Amino acid sequence: MRTKISFSLVIFLSLVLVDLRAQSSKSNGLFIDVHLLRPGSVTAADVAGAHAKDLAVQAKYGVQFLKYWVDEKTSTVYCLSSAPDSAHIADAHNEAHGLLPQQVYAVTDGVAANPLANVPYFLDIHNLGAGNVTAAAVANAHKKDLAVQKKHGVNFVNYWVCEEKGIVFCLSQTKTKANVAATHKEAHGLMPVQVVQVVQGQ
């Protein structure tokens, strides 16, 4: 009798845990957290190792690390994750490797396009100011980018918008960062404050 009760209790608790995890996943939002490290101190291989440690502990904090991008020139790392809030992301990073982000942005994403094989990635950042941008406005600007991107040899893969802080991150593939700027200029005239070549991982 005790064995049956214990077995039933285990099944019940397992179902509750699965339900709680499902609810947590539904309530998660997207975030981009940025690590500003000492220039020359980080390689893509280093970040791949740190990311593996993030993946090992992410479930404990209800976080799912999705992708990351490394600017090896400035040793800046951008991490895309799904999480309940920014505190959970910091806790996961802290346990994994102790490298905490200096900036965290709650973002919404666009519709992802198919990436090209063997073409460099670039991340360009628009700082439009708090309260000066909406996801709908960025979606409209992105459509204009897509309309002229081939002319400049660019493939826009996706974008992420932080409405609260007025920040837009655009991920693209092309040969030079000048192509990215030229596409934005012709499409809508909204120029990024920064365009950096990055290595992508996930």
Q: What is the mean pLDDT of the chain?
A: 90
pLDDT tens digits for 108-141? 999 999 999 999 999 999 999 999 999 999 999 9
Mean pLDDT of 37-43: 94
Q: Which of 90, 108, 126 corresponds to the end of one domain? A: 108
- CB-based contact 173:115 (threshold 8 Å): yes
CATH assignment at residue 131: 3.30.70.3090
The last residue of a domain, from among 55, 86, 108: 108
Same domain, 159 and 196: yes
pLDDT 10s digits, 58-107: 999 999 999 999 999 999 999 999 999 999 999 999 999 999 999 999 99
| Same domain (yes/no): 94, 8 | yes
Give CA torsion, residues 178, 169, 143, 181, to 10 deg: -10
Q: What is the pLDDT of residue 23?
A: 42
Residue 82 sits at φ, ψ, to 5 deg, of -110, 125
Domain identity same for 115 and 61:
no
Tokens 């100011």 belong to which residue? Answer: 129
Task: Give strand ranges (E) for 37-166.
Answer: 64-71, 76-83, 103-109, 121-127, 155-162
**pLDDT tens readout for residues 44-57:** 999 999 999 999 99
C-alpha–C-alpha distance, residues 77 and 57, integer Å: 19
Q: Which of 84, 108, 132 represents a domain boundary (last residue)?
A: 108
Find the domain containing 99 and state its range.
Answer: 2-108
pLDDT at residue 150 is higher than 90: yes
The predicted model scores a pTM of 0.86
User: Is residue 121 within 8 Å of residue 195, measured between CB atoms?
Assistant: no
Bridge partner residues of 105 (DSSP): 32
Residues 89 and 163 in one domain: no
The reply to whether 96 and 12 lie within a common domain is yes
Average pLDDT over residues 16-27: 45
Q: Are residues 140 and 159 in the same domain?
A: yes
Instruction: For residues 94 and 151, state if they share a domain.
Output: no
- Over 80: is that where the pLDDT of 37 sits? yes
Distance separating alpha carbons of residues 149 and 151, to the nearest angstrom: 5
